Amino acid sequence: MAGSPGTSAERYDAVDVIRTKRDRRELSDGQIDWVIDAYTRGAVADEQMSALAMAVLLNGMTHRETARWTSAMIASGERMDFSSLRSRAGRTLPTADKHSTGGVGDKITLPLAPLVAVFGVAVPQLSGRGLGHTGGTLDKLEAIPGWRASLTNDEMMSQLGDVGAVICAAGAGLAPADRKLYALRDVTGTVEAIPLIASSIMSKKIAEGTGALVLDVKVGSGAFMKDEASARELAQTMVALGQDAGVNTVALLTDMDTPLGLTAGNAIEVEESLEVLAGGGPEDVVELTVRLAEEMLAAAGVHDADPARALSDGRAMDVWRRMIAAQGGDPDAPLPAARESETVYAPADGVLVGLDALAVGVAAWRLGAGRARKEDAVQAGAGVRLHAKPGAFVRAGEPLMTLLTDTPERFARAKEALEGAVTIAPEGARPARRLIIDRIA
């Protein structure tokens, strides 16, 4: 067996490493460095790493262990370096990035990256595809005809210097240990281990080489972290890891009990992002986009910017168009639209006081906007369009949401997901939503 006592060429034994954490003892730096390297190259078996991940889930890690684990993940691959990045005018460009832990209707990256670039801060945004009820940024952008997610490092550097913003897929050389370990955690019930979540996210972001990082840690039914205490612990752990690595890192805890904006899907979220870039769009999307932009700019050393104005006067839209065109997309092309639609109506008069984000996300997923496995295809036009948000007064029989798909046989299961998702109360019971819960730095 890989990593067994008979493997004399290995510095450590996998079983001893597992026992250390199983018995609630700290792993040494040497043990951590070895087990990440050995697992990446196949000298530690999947079942052994599964046992170690479960021991971490049950017994936790100290900050030192988590930091070392993150460093070992980074060391498994390449590190990007933007220190030589220059604008077309020859000016040194600071860099800032944003990471969201995922939610429903979370299209913030799309308007945010070009908005920050308006102020001379380059945004190297490495993003992913969706899995389950949470949408993926790359899936949304791939709804734009011609747009491509895969860039070489040279292409990425060139676009950052020319346009100031890139949203693309991470290369295979960036923290390969994380790619292998995440797939294992996903099928062994160990995804929820906060040290492993934090190291997974931060190993990629630190290896990416950005100078500043803002984390959007979602809290609520549609988020990975359902309660504020867990979200706060994750945010604090990631901020500490970033600061330890020399990356100016802050985090916002933000609400995900209710979907962001009025759309959950791919093409329809691009459509909504364009509304924001044109100076309109839903209030919550605008509020979070502007606040994250302010945090990214401040972390990069820019303190006199007015992101809200850059949305309203068209400067962010100009950068968006250049960013999309630079990656082969046509910013003027019509977006794909679903062939079929079905409306969900309000069951009674009153104030909409609850709209469960998880239920909306699962409905969008079942309509074809998401995937159950990473190799599944998605429908660009599928999703859920909302006609009311909590706080609105609705009347019985009025449209609450429109379900969109190319395959109408999906409607039944999508509507099953929405059973109990809507709460309507007598007029006057208007809920107050706290979109931004806290800031952690």
Catalytic member of 140, 185, 205, 385? 185
Q: Is-catalytic flag, 200?
A: yes
Closest CA to 267 of 369, 394, 187, 419: 369
**Catalytic one among 178, 216, 255, 284?**
178
Concerning whether 63 is annotated as a catalytic residue, the answer is no
Distance from the Cα of residue 110 to its chain's centroid: 12
Torsion-angle region of 380 (φ positive above 0: left; ψ -120 to 50: alpha; else: beta): alpha
- Distance linking the first and last C-alpha atoms of the chain: 44
**Catalytic residue (one of 68, 99, 205, 291):** 99
Tallying the residues shown for the chain, one arrives at 441
Structural contact between residues 355 and 390, judged by C-beta atoms closer than 8 angstroms? yes
Active site residue 349: no
Cα gap 110→265, rounded to integer Å: 13
Q: Among residues 133, 140, 204, 205, which one is catalytic?
A: 204
Looking at the DSSP assignment, which residues form a beta bridge with residue 399?
345
CA 364: distance to chain centroid? 17
Contacts of 282 (CB under 8 A, 6+ apart): 260, 261, 262, 272, 275, 276, 389
Catalytic residue among 76, 100, 200, 273: 200
Catalytic annotation present for 185: yes
- Cβ burial of 72 (10 Å; 0-12, 13-18, 19+) is buried
Residue 423's φ and ψ, nearest 5 degrees, are -120, 125
Other beta carbons less than 10 A from residue 104's beta carbon: 31
Task: Copy the structure tokens of residue 148.
Answer: 């491509």
Angle at the Cα of 409 (from 404 to 411), degrees rounded to 5?
Answer: 45
Distance CA 311, CA 291 (A): 12
Annotation says 106 is catalytic: no
- Catalytic positions are 99, 178, 185, 200, 204
